Structure 1
Amino acid sequence: MHRSHNVSDTNPRNHDIPGPSLDGLTGGSWSEAEKLALSCRILAREGHSETLAGQVTVRQADGSFLTTPLAHAFGEIRAQSVIRIDDSLRVLEGRGVPNPAVRFHLWVYRRRPDVNCVIHTHPPYVSALSMTGEPLQIAHMDATPFFDDCAFLPEWPGLPIADVEGEIISAALGQKRCVLLANHGFLAATPTIEESLYLSVLIERAARNQLVAQSAYGRLKLVDPALAKESHDFLLQRSIVNASFAMFARQLPQEGA
């Protein structure tokens, strides 16, 4: 069937929406440490913090990185918990030590000057999908932000605390925003905290839907590639990403960042 519509209906720039607010506080007024802390608590609420596995890092203009201290659950993180480290994992500000797995994030930052925030976790459904040996499939509208934008590393290279794992994972990511890591978890690497968090929430839900559908029917009906590309570009507009981040943040207990 022919799909007819005006150009204005399909141009994402014509669908831009106003920036979000949170009790009168615009998203832009959060510091990066506050956004990192909010992201951690959102991830905890979404089930991404079952163990000590998982890290969030944010690149700073001076070449340092914000992250969280080892042995702190995502749900515990507040802005004052955040530490700043250099590219040798030495602590420059804050208390505690970084997770040694942050080392593989540094490989991503070296290869990708466009990336300013990396999130890596092992949420339940992504972890289950990673055990099947299959990549993420684009079979639902809500998965389209990953269309041609989620790489797949089919073999687990081992615990990612050495340079070799960082080299393998960053190479598998390539120029995409995400990578599904077999027998492991996933990585989101984007220019902003908001976008990395947005994709981290969406990929767990996409993995859940894929596993449920496959368990029920054994096969998937994939989305048409042209429509998936259109949806990908629309749903990754900055205004939609930022509005989604603020929506997720509003669902947290209102106790500050």
Structure 2
Amino acid sequence: MKKYDGLNQSMLERFATRPGRKELLPELSEKAQVALMCRMLIREGWDEHIAGHITYRLENGNILTNPWELAWGELTASDIVTLDPKGNVLDSDWNVTPAIGLHLQLHAMRPDVHVVIHNHPHWSGIWACMQKVPPVYDQASAYCGVELPLYDEYEGTFENEATSLSAVEALGDAKWALLANHGSLVVGKNLRQAHLRAITLEWRSKRAYEVELAGGGRPLSDEEVKKVSIADDNGFPFVWEAMARKELRLDPGLVD
């Protein structure tokens, strides 16, 4: 992935020509970017011990993923595992989750999807357990639009190929979903887009829970959401870099 893959082109050009500009991030390998994604999302509530998996499909069709044995908060770039499109491990002694089939099926059925994220996040997990979709109450909750499917045919964990396939089919062409009594699923065309969707889903869920706990409020209308959502579906400019820099300051060695 190029250093600023997915960034709004006109904004990138303005940034690149700005006198005295500083680099937003150092050059990062693709494995380093996946490790950063894990670290960044764990701080957003995507943290359920060693559960959860991220896959990132490369241009050659191979797939990078986090190892099963390590929590997202401890792994580094060197721990990221490379799989072939069928899920065979190519370069690691680590194992991968038995639920990797969900990701492989999504990548196979959705050519537009290069990143798949599944975990049992705190706030969106609450709404998944209530089997309700959180309303949109503020601008930050509206960044990725209104539609949020709820997949409510939970039949167990995703080790079962038929179960994971039914979830993939139910997702259709959606960008995210709540999995009733289970967790959340987010997809994207690149890491930046998937990151924005993951953090927006958790913010939306948290804010809606707090508003309703306080007695309720008036959700934004669909028209209002459209006005304040991110027009560039590549993501919120510079958020990926800012959150990545935060993790690099805390642990510079995570990209090694």
Which residue, 240, 246, 249 being the options, matches 1:251?
Answer: 246
Same amino acid, percent of matched pairs: 24
TM-score norm. by structure 1 comes to 0.84
Return closer, same or farther for 1:37/1:69 CA change in 2, 3 Å cut-off: same
Check conservation: 2:146, 2:225, Cα contact below 8 A: no
Q: Which residue of structure 1 aligns with residue 113 of structure 2? A: 115
**Contact (CA 8 Å) 1:66, 1:82: kept in 2 or not?**
yes
Decide whether the 8 Å contact of 1:104 with 1:166 is kept in 2: yes
SS in 2 for 1:110: helix
* Aligned equivalent of 1:224, options 221, 226, 231: 221
Q: Name the structure 1 match of 2:209.
A: 211
In structure 1, the partner of 2:40 is 42
| Native 8 Å contact 1:69 1:95 kept in 2 | no
Stretch moving more, 73-82 or 23-32? 23-32
- Distance (Å, rounded) in 1 between the aligned partners of 2:217 and 2:163: 32
Quickly say closer, same or farther: Cα 1:173–1:247, change in 2 above 3 A.
same
What amino acid maps onto 2:229 in structure 1? H
Q: For residues 187 and 50 of structure 1, what CA distance do their matches in structure 2 show? A: 14
1:114-133 correspondence to structure 2 within 5 Å: 114-133=112-131
Please tell me the residue identity of whatever aligns with 2:74: E
Secondary structure (helix, strand or coil) at the match of 2:186 reads strand
Q: How many residues align?
A: 240
* Paired position in structure 2 for 1:88: 86
Post-superposition offset of 1:198: 2.1
Q: Which amino acid aligns with 1:87?
A: P
Q: Distance in 2 between matches of 1:79 and 1:131?
A: 33
Higher helix content, 1 or 2: 1
Deviation at 1:149, TM superposition (A): 4.1
Match runs of 1:160-239 below 5 Å: 160-217=158-215, 219-234=216-231, 236-238=232-234
SS in 2 for 1:195: helix
Taking a change above 3 Å as real, the CA distance of residues 100 and 242 of structure 1, as seen in their structure-2 partners, is: farther
Q: Name the SS of the counterpart of 1:119 in structure 2.
A: strand
Q: 1:19 to 1:161 in 2, by over 3 A?
A: farther
Cα pair 2:87 2:104 within 8 Å, conserved: no
Task: Tell me the secondary structure at the aligned position of residue 240 of structure 2.
Answer: helix
Task: Tell me how far apart the structure 1 counterparts of residues 26 and 174 of structure 2 sit (CA, whole Å).
Answer: 25
CA distance in 2, matches of 1:119, 1:136: 19
* Corresponding residue for residue 8 of structure 1: none
- 1:125: Cα distance to partner? 1.1
Q: Which runs of 5+ in 2 are unaligned?
A: 1-7
| Structure 1 position 134 matched with structure 2 position 132 | yes
> For residue 52 of structure 2, what is the amino acid of its counterpart?
G
Corresponding residue number in structure 1 for 2:55: 57
Map of 2:145 onto structure 1: 147
Going from structure 1 to structure 2, the CA distance change for 1:43 and 1:173 (only over 3 Å counts) comes to same
Residue 131 of structure 1 deviates from its aligned partner by: 1.1
